[in-house]
A and B are shown apart, each in its own frame.
Chain A
Amino acid sequence: MEKIKNIFNWEPDRSLYPEKDENGNLIVDLSSQKFTKVWHGPNHPGTTGNMAIELTLSGDEVVEAKTHVGYLHRGFEKLMERRLYIQCFPTCVRMCVAEPDYNEYLLARSVEELDNLEIPETAKWLRTLVLEMARLQTLLRTVPGQAGTLSLGMGVQWGVYLRDLVLDLFEELTGGRVYHMYIIPGGVRGLLPDGFKKRMEDVLLKIEDFIVRIDNLIFKNILFKKRTIGIGHIPAEWIDKYGVVGPNARAAGFKRDVRKDYPYLVYDQLDFDIATLTDSDVYARSLIRRQDLITTIDLIRQIMAKMPNDGDIKSPTPNVLHWKIPKGEVYVRSESSRGEYGFYTVSDGSEYPRRINLRGPSYTHAVVLLEKLLINANIADVHSIMVSLQTCPPEIER
């Protein structure tokens, strides 16, 4: 019996490799042939977008990691400098495929702040609704997606199905499934269709049932726990140092959320709390996202109950075909499912933006943070750690 137990608890002896000098620093000498180079990516390892991590391994242990992007660069920020503000609206959505709505919102918000434009109350509620729906559909993929990285794909299938139901609702409200193009400078592009609230509630109930099922499948799963607890630990002192935000920061005990810290739209009229944990490992980050899913469902219910059912959806604006935005610069932000997501917009007073720069959470998470976090990780956990940061290459490169 003892023997069998030992087989399960067997750990390799890591005292000899990788070799260290007398100060304890790693000696990475590729010509020694004691190391292996492995390219993780750039092909889609799941639903995460194209990005490569160049790994240097000693046995199965990562000793160096380098993030490579450049497979998805489409130059949207530059393209927008050649487009009227209204034309930036269908362009900017593509900067983050999973949650295009934050781009729409931030572009609109930049324009409105710079031009001192108030939007109708109804439009504010509808915007909040759409942003929460965006979070909802993302989390439906990312929460089970964490188990997917460990080859437990079933939860992902369930999530994708439910996400499709949310996309149906998006389609009803905005006319589009993936790129919604709904939040337009000045307001939004439509009121809720008849019966929308009822159909939304039906979907929310299904999602609540789904949460119970993934709890059983994933969070109460010994294999998942073994593979995530204590893995990919982000020390608290890294949070500010490397610009970590969103669930990644909250899993390390930092109560940070733009919705609370710098309330926008109607978030100050909604009742919600921000979840935090302290373990700061892959499991904790998954749990935080699971909690976010519950919060989002609750927020959507509150919005549905409190929002006005009619009223103007758009404020009058100057003619969009030659709308000149007053000279100035502005940074506007929102809380995406990955954390603070902001646009820094500069106007030179013309019809075209002089510069729109996206501050996305993935740049710091996937480049600065991930390269540190992977050191000493096991090759088998690399993918899981990467996904636990919820990195989004299209947003890094845009």
Chain B
Amino acid sequence: MALKDILTPFTAWTNVFKPVVTIKDPFNDRPGAERYRGFHFNDTSKCIGCGSCEAICENEAIDLVPVEGIETKDGDSGLRPRVDYGRCCWCALCVDVCTTASLRLTNEYTWVTENPEDLRYTPGVDVKPWDNNELGWKKPEPNYHFFGQKRVSMPELHPEQRDKSFIEIVKGYSKEQAILEADRCVECGICIATCPAHMGIPDYIRAIREDNIEEGFKILYDTNPLPEICGRICTHKCETVCSVGNLGEALSIRWLKRYIADQVESEDYKRILQSDGIANNGKKVAVVGSGPAGLSAAHYLALMGYSVTIYEQFSQSGGMMRYGIPEYRLPYDQIDKDVNYILSLGVKIIYNTNVGKDISLSELKSKYDAVFAGTGLHLGRSTRIPGTDHKHVYQSIDLLNKITEGKEIHVAENIVVIGGGNVAMDITRSLARLQNIKYGKVSIIATSLEDENSMPADREEVVEAREEMATINPGWGPKEILIEDGNIKGLRVVKCLSIFDEEGRFNPKFDESNTNFFKADMIVESIGQGMDIEYISEDIKKDLEINNRGRIVVDELFQSGAKWLFIGGDIIQGPDVIHGIANGHKAAVGIDKYLNTNI
């Protein structure tokens, strides 16, 4: 031990001359760092109330609460997260998981309040001084995600494998693919509200993840007795609202449903759904039409013990699903799979019987305790432009009917289809196949009033049609079918500028100076279908209420003014399979109520 050990510590005195380093709060302001995890802010206009933040918070500091001025709507639960600062640990997992990136933490960290209740607040709704603070924790970058953003792509036939045949294009997910896709779901349930049938989507997706197909299958049948069909051709409105779709790609909800249905063999249906031995309640119900609404009503009525008889005008079941949708999208054996199960519950179908012609509605009324009519939209609409009376101008729906029935149809070398919806794509792609078979080449143009971005057809329909060499040329208004020497020469069109007027009414505007000519020797009109309710005789009609848009008015359980008559499906709701299924289900509940209470 040396003398220097006594002296050196005293060098610390030099610090007396150094500047002071402490911060004097609150006199010196010290803002939090750019990434600081301080108080919450939520952009409530972006937030959809999916509740993922609530689900991930390990401290249960978040509750989703109703907020004044924010309404529940498609894709938005109307709820917003409320944070409890008695629990929060500022981990920002809620920010990282947020499906819309609406939630963030600001860099503000001091807050003095006398009222402890203040510390439970709804960010973005309860105004706070830090609301405009742009700094603070946001979802990290790059490539930082808490769940998969990209869809598992669906295996499909290549265009050259499919353009000459009606083989189903979509192959369906394998188990690994389905589980991977199902993993992306955040189980928010936003989709349930938008699905017309309110299917238990997150629940059956969870069943896929857990590889519990039978459980998933039961969940499907709770609300939808046509899963093979819907799993292929549903309009999947659920996917347009899926939370995951806000920053990434929406879940392939439809394909996941199909995956479950595809895994179950027909002979296992009754065992899984425990539908054997339902006691008959002695009451009889007639159903008009075996489309989605009719089949759905029949299914749920049969489960309740009713004897159900369906009257079908065609020789096979399914209505538009079989007679409107081409086989490459919905193979007939899959329709049969769904329908056969419904038949196995004791439901009878009387084919080739047109109610109104072969048997009257009144007769059904007298023979049955109640009637459900889901007769659909089977009348093609015409543009009524000059030339539409030519014999080679067709209605898409008639051609599709004939293709299903295996009847010979006229297939010209050059065809123009008028229409931009899914049915227009169906006929375009069907005819393209037939042209390919007949001529070895495709020459078909589909044109619509709507431009590329607002075409009502599903995007993949348009893309796939192009892959199959059909030309899609949207944004034109048909003016005239040019006919020379009795033969169609083509379609004259003008540029369409807008379709709806300020009030949102159908009132297309054209630029007459911008014209075009599509060469063709056959024209197909596919601009929508109308209903045919001739089968409802006048004495019954007088009990019905018809609204100013020509639609029959029914109550929420689809009971019409004639108490014994329930009406649902496309004639009430417009063309959509899943709406039909939902209507049929509700009508079944309505019929049961009517027959048990006579109201």
Contact = CB atoms under 8 A, between A and B. Distances in A.
A70 B145 CA distance: 40
B144 A86 contact: no
B146 interface: yes
Contact of A313 (B97, B105, B144): B144
A6 interface: no
B32 A171 contact: yes
B472 interface: no
B252 to A, nearest CB: 15
A161 B93 CA distance: 30
Interface of A: 83-84, 86-91, 154, 158, 161, 168, 171-176, 179, 181, 187, 189-190, 193, 213, 216-218, 220-223, 225-226, 312-314, 316-322
B148 A171 contact: no
Contacts of B254: none
A175 B37 contact: yes
Interface string B17-39: 00001000000000011111100
Among B105, B144, B186, find the residue whose CB has the most chain A CB atoms closer than 10 A: B144
A282 to B, nearest CB: 16
Contacts of A179: 89, 91
A161 B20 CA distance: 11
Among B33, B90, B142, find the residue whose CB has the most chain A CB atoms closer than 10 A: B33
B500 interface: no
B144 A175 contact: no
Contact of B56 (A87, A217, A222, A225): A87
Contacts of A168: 33
B58 interface: yes
Contacts of A318: 147, 183
Interface in B225-251: none
B12 A154 contact: yes
Given A161-B21, A319-B186, A83 B8 contact: no
Contacts of B55: 321
Given A87-B56, A90-B91, A154-B12, A225 B1 contact: yes
A193 B185 CA distance: 32
10 closest Cβ pairs, A-B complex: A87-B58, A90-B91, A319-B147, A222-B5, A175-B35, A175-B37, A171-B33, A220-B8, A221-B9, A320-B146
Contact of A319 (B6, B21, B183): B183
Interface of B: 1, 4-6, 8-9, 11-12, 15, 21, 32-37, 52, 55-59, 89-93, 96-97, 105, 137, 140, 142-148, 183-187, 206, 209
Contacts of B89: 90, 179
B58 A189 contact: no
A176 B35 CA distance: 8
B435 to A, nearest CB: 44
B526 to A, nearest CB: 41
Nearest to B185: A319
Given A172-B34, A176-B37, A314-B144, A181 B185 contact: no
7 contacts: A171-B33, A175-B36, A213-B11, A223-B9, A313-B143, A316-B145, A320-B97
Contacts of B57: 87
Contacts of B186: 319, 321
A172 B11 CA distance: 34
Contacts of A173: 35
B479 to A, nearest CB: 53
A217 B5 CA distance: 9
A171 B147 contact: no
A305 B23 CA distance: 32
Nearest to A188: B140
A181 B36 CA distance: 12
B6 A90 contact: no
A316 B16 CA distance: 54
A38 to B, nearest CB: 30
Contact of B11 (A90, A193, A216): A216
Given A319-B183, A319-B185, A193 B35 contact: yes
B5 A225 contact: yes
Contacts of A225: 1, 5
A225 B1 CA distance: 9
Contact of A220 (B9, B56, B140): B9
Given A312-B142, A313-B140, A321-B52, A90 B58 contact: yes
B183 A190 contact: no
A190 B34 CA distance: 12
A83 B58 contact: yes
Nearest to B5: A222
A189 B96 CA distance: 9
